[in-house]
Structure 1
């Protein structure tokens, strides 16, 4: 246990215990998709909506492009929901229905620092003089700190982290804690955009996080705003709207939403209360396969009850891991990603499945070649496919670096 007092005490009056949830939003999204497929949905990966298809003034489909093959297709449906986050207004513009309320994009950023430099043991929230909120949260031997919440009008796909963003977070953190963090201590970064609903005269931190639904004359339904913690309720609201429309238009009756009862893939029937026991039960099973306690925990925390399938892949094919110079837990996780999670590019696994680009960047760099080699073997890539895969890795690694010259310390 660390003896070091991290919070500066000069102006400290008191505090309360802050219980912060932790989530991996990329893995959450994947598990939601997998659950949807389990209920009969069809998931389509690497597909971009290019334009909307109309019949008699009503939207009846979407022209999409497969960004890997560059082929285009038409997907038709009776109802089209525009739940595209920061891109909601772009589709509303294509629909000719962007009127009245619009999106107000704000950018949030986080810096990831090894606990050797910032040994935080529990989540801390603090305000800074300009009124913004900052969180510092420990995770897997790292501490990540953010966010800035600033107005944003740049590239939606890659908002990036600037030197100014980085310096702001580092200065605020050094003022609050007994640390001396410098740019070279930042291992990785990430940024994201909040698609808030615009309100005249309000600063980014003052805008409501409430979600809203817009229905155009063509029938396009757009949902925007909201927060990650309310994703199920947002989905329930708009699907209830679709059900009501079908009732009116076709006299079709649907059962009430059951989203609050649905257990996502990997979830434990007893929720977080049962997870500690499950972890204790599964860890020795992983060690019996040759995993270290930390490696087994790494898998269990990411895959929950699905770890049993990962274990099976390690049990049957683990002797191949050395061929690709991959540790057993990475090898098993990648095979599972290829089998069950639509992993199509190395960046998918390194970032959005294993979370390594953000929280284990040194190993992401070390094992990237092995990940690429295993995927090449499993997917039978051509030279063109492999070039695209290499570009995927480069793009993911570039995205976590600060944009612009880093000032000398």
Structure 2
């Protein structure tokens, strides 16, 4: 082995498991009375990014999340890593360039196993002016990608005639376009990516715990000095002391601020974005679509054996934990996509549905430190930093800005700049070599090469940990009932290595059975709960409780989707409360 290769191997961070025992150890460390440099509240992608940014600067860091990692907005996005073509029309070139730089970093260096290129077709509907107008915008998009400081890692755009476009997307009506422009962006499984950021932060030494809710803040006079935390699995409460606390709770920002008794320098309002999934064979296409609507844009995104169609953009002031999808939301999406399809989609084609809440900034911008058009950082009282707004693609920049603000006032501590642009997520190092060796992996594991490819796209170079489970227990090579994209080994791995605590965590976020299966994962619930029970020491009552809760959740969501508006849909969805552990 060459010396520099050996040095890199010796310096590479070792993966850690987010196991039940690791969670308990983290809770013990957080409640030990030892003061942290930074405590991050909120386990979405921004909070996870803050924890990783801070710990890789050499700080002592804690991260707590009241539910599951990415259980809010960060598992319910459009699953795109993109610059945002529509921001070019707003002339916000800096924001687009920033996002495209992050796209390049994720594809090529930080998470090549989780972030992949995806083509999009933009149908042209007007002759003459539209092609040069759209073409100039997409050319600028490509150029900003090249000049963003990272190589693009994606093919360049191309102009298509109507005939060429219809070869790419035969599903389009011939009269729906006169030509097209095709360009590339990237996509990600947002929930897996966020969990991997958390796990990477833990590998560098951050103490991380999900199902740990902040119930109040500690104060010394005006200064925030930590938080009171409740372990929702046991009901135990304890104090976490920290020099700086970062509030990264997204649409819950105002609620978290209220616990500190501060007004806050800005406010966050929630906007609901709904997506539906239809089977891949319902839309005959080799490329995704981006369509203009009267309000914004609509994406048709390839997603494994499905298409993800979205999104909506409507104000939401009801339950934030479980934003409900109404019948009118689904009708809106189908109506707009059907406007260009030769064979319209129907409600019977809709296999999965989900809604997420965007944290949009509101308030007096003059009172804030404005770091970009999309996100803001505030320091409302000493010891408490607030980060809000933004988009998934730029989570790393948001985290850097928040930690920069937190360390600015740390006394007696010399802290270097952010290094996360050079910190690959777990599973990234060695991924490409394993991808090239996927046929050999298939032969040695006894799994089909297509299965190996699916696992590599989910775990990267950590695939060996999953395959070790299969080698130890060959029955774990069997797929989940009704959700055969996923192996039983992945359920066990979700509990032993990825922090899953409840059935919903596995079927909704560690896998995507809840939106990718006709029955929304119900057929897989029993075997999944049985596999989890062995690792989490559930008794028969807790196991039955988990299955019943999941079934009721699916029933409530289906009932909500029959309701005409937000208010009635929200009432129906609240018919299935959150899981409560049996203490």
Report if the CA contact (8 A) 1:287-1:296 is conserved. Answer: no
Q: Deviations over 1:247-269 (max 9, x none)?
A: xx22x111221000000011146
Who is 1:205 aligned against? none
- Deviation at 1:396? 5.3
Structure 1 position 388, deviation (Å)? 4.0
Match for residue 204 of structure 1? none
Identify which of 316, 329, 332 aligns with 1:165: 329
Would the aligned equivalents of 2:469 and 2:476 in 1 still touch at CA under 8 Å? no
RMSD value, Cα = 2.7
CA pair 392-340 structure 1, distance change in 2 beyond 3 A? farther
1:292 pairs with 2:458: no
8 A Cα contact 1:350 1:364, kept in partner = yes
Q: CA deviation at 1:235?
A: 0.8
Alpha-carbon displacement from aligned partner over 1:143-182 (angstroms, at most 9, x marks no partner): 1100011111111111121101000000001002223111
Matched, 1:258 2:432: no
Structure 2: give runs of 5+ residues left out of the alignment. Answer: 1-165, 365-371, 565-583
Map 1:94-113; keep pairs closer than 5 Å.
94-113=259-278
Describe the superposition over 1:321-367 as per-residue Cα deviations: whole angstroms up to 9, x where unpaired. 66997979512212222221111112211121122222245583332
2:249 counterpart residue number: 84
Q: Which residue of 2 aligns with 1:311?
A: 467
Asked if 1:184 is matched to 2:341, the reply is: no
| Worse-superposed segment, 307-316 or 277-286 | 277-286
Residues 10-409 of structure 1 aligned to structure 2 (within 5 Å): 10-128=175-293, 130-198=294-362, 210-246=374-410, 249-250=411-412, 252-268=413-429, 275=432, 278-319=434-475, 330-362=487-519, 364-394=521-551, 397-398=554-555, 401=558, 403-405=560-562
Task: Tell me, yes or no, if the aligned pair for 2:168 and 2:286 is still in contact at 8 Å.
Answer: no
CA distance in 2, matches of 1:286, 1:400: 38
TM-score between the two structures when normalised by the length of structure 1: 0.87
Report the count of equivalent residues: 391
Give the Cα separation in 2 of the matches to 1:323 and 1:84. Answer: 35
Q: Contact conserved, 1:163 with 1:402, CA < 8 A, in 2? A: no
Greater mean deviation of Cα atoms: 284-293 or 296-305:
284-293
- Point out where structure 1 has 5 or more consecutive residues left out of the alignment: 201-207
TM-score, normalization by structure 2: 0.62
Q: 1:98 to 1:122 in 2, by over 3 A?
A: farther
Tell which has more relative contact order, 1 or 2 (C-alpha 8 A, sep 6+): 2
In structure 2, do the counterparts of structure 1 residues 283 and 193 end up closer, same or farther at CA, with 3 Å as the change threshold? farther
Is contact 2:507-2:521 (8 Å) kept?
Answer: yes
Shift of 1:394: 2.8
Aligned-pair CA distance for 1:294? 2.8
Displacement, 1:140? 1.0
Give a deviation string over 1:39-82, Cα, whole Å, max 9, x none. 11011011111211212221112122222222222222111110
Runs of 4+ in 1 over 4 A off after TM superposition: 1-4, 320-329
Q: Deviations over 1:16-57 (max 9, x none)?
A: 113121111100111001110111101101111121121222
User: What secondary structure sits across from 2:185 in the alignment?
Assistant: coil
Tell me which moved more, 383-392 or 351-360: 383-392
Paired with 2:408 and 2:271, the residues of 1 have a C-alpha distance of 33
Q: Secondary structure at the match of 1:256?
A: coil
